[in-house]
Amino acid sequence: MEQINVTIDGIQVSVPKDSTVLDAANAAGIYIPTLCHMPGHKPLGACRVCLVEIEGGRGALQASCSFPATDGMVVRTNTRRVHNARKAVVELMLSAHRQDCNACNRTLNCELQAIAKRLGIRENRFEGEMPKRIEDTSSPAIVRDSSKCILCRRCVEVCQNVQTVGTLFAVDRGFDTVIAPTAKKELAEAVCVACGQCVSACPVGALYEKNHIDRVWDAIADPDKHVIVQTAPAVRVAIGEEFGLPAGSRVTRKMVAGLRRVGFDKVFDTDFTADLTILEEGHEFLNRLTNGGVLPMLTSCSPGWINFIEYFYPELLPNLSTCKSPQQMFGALAKTYYAEKMGVDPSKIYSVSIMPCTAKKLEAGREEMSVVDGLSDVDAVLTTREAAQMMREAGVDFVNLPDEPFDEPLGISTGAAVIFGATGGVMEAALRTVYEVVTGQTLENVNFEAVRGLEGVKEATVKVGDIEAKVAVASGLSNARKLMDLVMEGKADYHFIEIMCCPGGCLGGGGQPIPTTDEIRKARMQAIYAEDEGLPIRKSHDNPAIKALYEEFLGEPNSHKAHKLLHTHYTPKALWPTDVPLDEVKSK
């Protein structure tokens, strides 16, 4: 690529020809504050915080995130005029922002707050009328609070372009502008998959998860309740970030210790039922393959993906594995197998999960997710952020906690389970088991590198005995859409497809510590595979607790009992308003 020379605050840098002024400043090591800008996305140019002076030109200050750099350009970022303009932009934002910062869930991790501090804002110069507040708590997963929104449109960008769902858009104009679903409907009435990527993208406290912390404290305080917790694979490689540790810190056993300090009676592992998922889903796959079942089979672990396919590709619901997600398998076993084993009345068991995910809150509330009449399989779902918050409230000194193991038996798991937290992990774990089940031989190299990494769509052909299994993996719903379009057009000859709703898989989920960037995704991913390498058992079917579960309780994979407890069904959802009399309902 052709290079150009740009001078910024006296520093000359050489940058590729299509760079913006912001890119050039980054290359020169000069900090420019931004709010609407997201690296890796096309510039939005909405917030105007990144103003700079360009020598010559028309004299106007320019938004560096979207202003193209040209050869010989001279830029100044550190002038009185720039300071004053940026300050005024942020002060105007603050004038329409409900500044009850102490009561805000993003306090001390708020980009607006950080920029206000950085720019030295010490007073509210523009006090006046505030826009009408819309507080939308209708969704079981995500809360919108317009009084915090700075209209940066980062949520719109990820919802529309990364996830291709398009729930949110700017409605109305000027002072009345609000980021909202179609016709300012509530989130619960809108087409929303609850993935929480908008929450992850939000620089302020305008979008956040539905709080489950209080109900969990209530349960812990109730002497009648036996409160158990399961932790998803991706949580252990991210929760350290909430306590100032670098991304990719492996803190599995500190997390267990922290949860004990919070007051959970038993600390179990979703990895246990991730292993179980492999047994159930692996056998379902082999069954479909040998008995002419519907192929390609699609994985069903990711609840945001389940919502997406129910809305956008209902024709492909028969392709979805009938397996419940590991969270829901765990919940089902907690109130049956575990209750029996412990001799505890299932109604006294309060089952909590810690998930990197907001959609898991919605999933836990689906009415079919109840194996014991009148009881939810999973009673509360905490995001990684909420779990960290409970530890803070409990006075846990996370960084200095000792290492403690999970409780048995629902805390025993393998390396195949922990990689569920990264895109490609379910596929890799399934291949490890399917290979040995089909061939009866030991798989020596368990690492399937072809399905690893952050790439949006990955493909591989794997020889499993006589079968050439063609598999594909996608993460992020725009990538899922590419694969589903191929399947719909009959242009895909895959046998098995893994889909994860969030880019990078669960490690980049909407419930993870904020921020999540590609760099952070990579660090968490490395940690996941290091966890796998470090475990003595790396194949799900070798998990002794899973073997015992089948022997004592379930019989064999896909048995009648397994089906009753561990499998589910799906329902098409209306993508278009149902009160509109359309001649034909098209799906997209």
Of the residues 11, 74, 171, 438, which one makes contact with another protein according to CB under 8 A: 171
Select 171 or 344, whichever has its Cβ closest to another protein.
Answer: 171
- Among 282, 312, 311, 308, smallest CA distance to 297 is for 282
- Among 235, 228, 240, smallest CA distance to 265 is for 228
Of the residues 88, 91, 169, 375, which one makes contact with another protein according to CB under 8 A: 169
Of the residues 1, 103, 108, 582, which one makes contact with another protein according to CB under 8 A: 582
Select 190 or 497, whichever has its Cβ closest to another protein.
Answer: 190
CB of 582 to another protein, least distance (A): 7
- Round to whole Å and give the CA distance between 540 and 413: 8
CB of 182 to another protein, least distance (A): 4
- Round to whole Å and give the CA distance between 333 and 335: 5
Catalytic residue among 19, 506, 539, 540: 506
Of the residues 1, 60, 103, 183, which one makes contact with another protein according to CB under 8 A: 183
Total residues contacting another protein (rule CB under 8 A)?
24
Select 109 or 161, whichever has its Cβ closest to another protein.
Answer: 161
Select 165 or 427, whichever has its Cβ closest to another protein.
Answer: 165
Select 482 or 522, whichever has its Cβ closest to another protein.
Answer: 482
CB of 192 to another protein, least distance (A): 10
| 408 classed as catalytic | no
| 531 classed as catalytic | no
Q: Among residue numbers 390 through 419, which ones bind another protein (CB under 8 A)?
A: none
| 444 classed as catalytic | no
Q: Measuring CA to CA, how many Å separate 529 from each of 11, 30, 170?
A: 41, 35, 40
Catalytic residue among 53, 209, 281, 428: 281
Catalytic residue among 301, 323, 501, 502: 301
Q: Which residues contact 141 (CB under 8 A, 6 or more apart)?
A: 194, 196, 209, 210, 358, 359, 361, 362
User: What is the SS3 assignment for 202?
Assistant: coil
588 binds another protein (CB under 8 A): yes
| 501 classed as catalytic | no
| 363 classed as catalytic | yes
Select 167 or 376, whichever has its Cβ closest to another protein.
Answer: 167
Of the residues 61, 112, 165, 471, which one makes contact with another protein according to CB under 8 A: 165
The amino acid occupying position 211 is N
Please identify, among the stretches 94-102, 180-188, 196-204, 214-222, the one whose residues bind another protein according to the rule CB under 8 A. Answer: 180-188
Q: How many CB atoms lie within 10 A of CB 300?
A: 25
| 148 classed as catalytic | no
**Phi, psi for residue 200 in degrees, rounded to 5:** -65, -35
CB of 553 to another protein, least distance (A): 46
Please identify, among the stretches 179-187, 481-489, 492-500, 537-545, the one whose residues bind another protein according to the rule CB under 8 A. Answer: 179-187
- Round to whole Å and give the CA distance between 267 and 258: 10
Q: Among residue numbers 190 through 209, which ones bind another protein (CB under 8 A)?
A: 190-191
Select 181 or 196, whichever has its Cβ closest to another protein.
Answer: 181
Select 32 or 165, whichever has its Cβ closest to another protein.
Answer: 165
Tokens linked to 344? 């505890």
- Among 479, 570, 498, smallest CA distance to 299 is for 498
Residue 411, by phi and psi: left (phi above 0), alpha (psi -120 to 50) or beta? alpha
CB of 139 to another protein, least distance (A): 15
Q: Which residues contact 28 (CB under 8 A, 6 or more apart)?
A: 6, 8, 9, 11, 13
577 binds another protein (CB under 8 A): yes
From residue 102 to residue 141, the character string flagging contacts with another protein as x (rule: CB under 8 A) and all else as - is ----------------------------------------
- Round to whole Å and give the CA distance between 503 and 114: 26
Quick check: bond before 296 cis, omega within 30? yes
Please identify, among the stretches 228-236, 299-307, 430-438, 578-586, the one whose residues bind another protein according to the rule CB under 8 A. Answer: 578-586
Of the residues 100, 135, 172, 551, which one makes contact with another protein according to CB under 8 A: 172
- Round to whole Å and give the CA distance between 413 and 431: 17
| 368 classed as catalytic | yes
Helix residue spans in 317-445 (DSSP H): 326-333, 339-342, 359-364, 384-393, 415-418, 425-439
Q: Which residues contact 222 (CB under 8 A, 6 or more apart)?
A: 350
The amino acid occupying position 67 is F
- Among 588, 405, 478, 444, smallest CA distance to 195 is for 478
User: What is the SS3 assignment for 507?
Assistant: helix
Q: Among residue numbers 471 through 500, which ones bind another protein (CB under 8 A)?
A: none
| 186 classed as catalytic | no
Contact residues for another protein, defined by CB under 8 A: 160, 165-173, 181-183, 190-191, 576-577, 579-583, 586, 588
Catalytic residue annotation: 281, 284, 301, 321, 360, 363, 368, 506
